[in-house]
């Protein structure tokens, strides 16, 4: 019994790690900013395949008139392990992802200060972050989402009355258009831009 529980626990850990891996990359700042969300469905698909195979085997034995083996096979540990791991992955994925974006917000501080110095010297925001290098920044800070600075008046109308915006598309799945945004006044509504807004330090995350 203990061995069965141990095997199921290992499978649960592997499944949860598989689901959480993109969020771990986000915390590390090395990726995972956007994902297809397929990692959420593959474990369930695997469970269905295993269940279907078990059903086919039982049906085949029944048709052949063979006595059913009452001893539980490995699948009896695999399926519960996958399901438990899937639930744990779903439970912790959101919090881990948001923590990763909180860290990204902190890492962006040198970039924001450089933009503010550029505006002070030139009277307007830079058209791109590349012009900040090397006068205002030695290099663009690493471990950040694919951020762009928006200064075009037509595009800014979507964000309200603000002179410039830092924005990154950080979709969580194929039907999702989440945003990671920074306003210079740091005034964010509770809802807007297509979703619910969560404050993360000086930044905001739009859950579409």
Does the predicted model carry a pTM greater than 0.85?
Answer: no
Residue 168, pLDDT > 90, answer yes
Mean pLDDT of the chain: 86
- Residue 42: band (very low, low, confident or very high) from pLDDT cuts 50, 70, 90: confident
Between CA 56 and CA 61 the distance in angstroms is: 9
Work out the angle at residue 120's Cα, subtended by the Cα atoms of residues 114 and 125, and round it to the nearest 5 degrees: 65
| Domains of the chain, residue spans | 2-104, 108-207
pLDDT tens across 115-162, in order? 999 999 999 999 999 999 999 999 999 999 999 999 999 999 999 889
Q: Could you tell me where the beta strands, DSSP code E, fall in the chain?
A: 148-150, 165-169, 179-182, 191-192, 195-200, 203-207
Do residues 148 and 115 lie in contact, with contact meaning Cβ atoms separated by under 8 Å? no
Which of 24-33, 42-51, 87-96, 148-157 is the least confident region? 42-51
pLDDT tens across 102-111, in order? 999 999 999 9
Sheet holding 179-182, edge to edge: 148-150, 165-169, 179-182, 203-207, 195-200, 191-192
């Amino acid at each position: 019994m203990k061995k069965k529980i141990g095997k199921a626990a290992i499978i649960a850990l592997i499944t949860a790690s598989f689901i959480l891996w993109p969020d771990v990359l986000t915390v590390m700042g090395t990726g995972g900013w956007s994902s297809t969300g397929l990692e959420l469905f593959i474990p369930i698909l695997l469970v269905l395949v295993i269940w279907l195979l078990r059903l086919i085997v039982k049906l085949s034995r029944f048709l052949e008139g063979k006595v059913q083996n009452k001893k539980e096979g490995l699948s009896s540990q695999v399926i519960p392990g996958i399901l438990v791991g899937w639930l744990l992955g779903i439970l912790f994925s959101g919090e881990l992802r948001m923590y990763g974006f909180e860290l990204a917000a902190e890492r962006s501080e040198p970039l924001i200060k450089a933009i503010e110095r550029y505006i002070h010297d030139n009277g307007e925001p830079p058209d791109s972050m590349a012009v900040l290098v090397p006068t205002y920044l030695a290099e663009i800070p690493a471990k950040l989402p694919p951020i762009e600075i928006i200064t075009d008046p037509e595009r800014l109308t979507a964000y309200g009355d603000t002179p410039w915006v830092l924005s990154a598309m950080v979709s969580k799945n194929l039907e999702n258009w989440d945003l990671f945004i920074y306003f210079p006044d740091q005034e964010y509504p509770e809802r807007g831009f297509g979703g619910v807004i969560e404050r993360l330090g000086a930044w905001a995350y739009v859950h579409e």
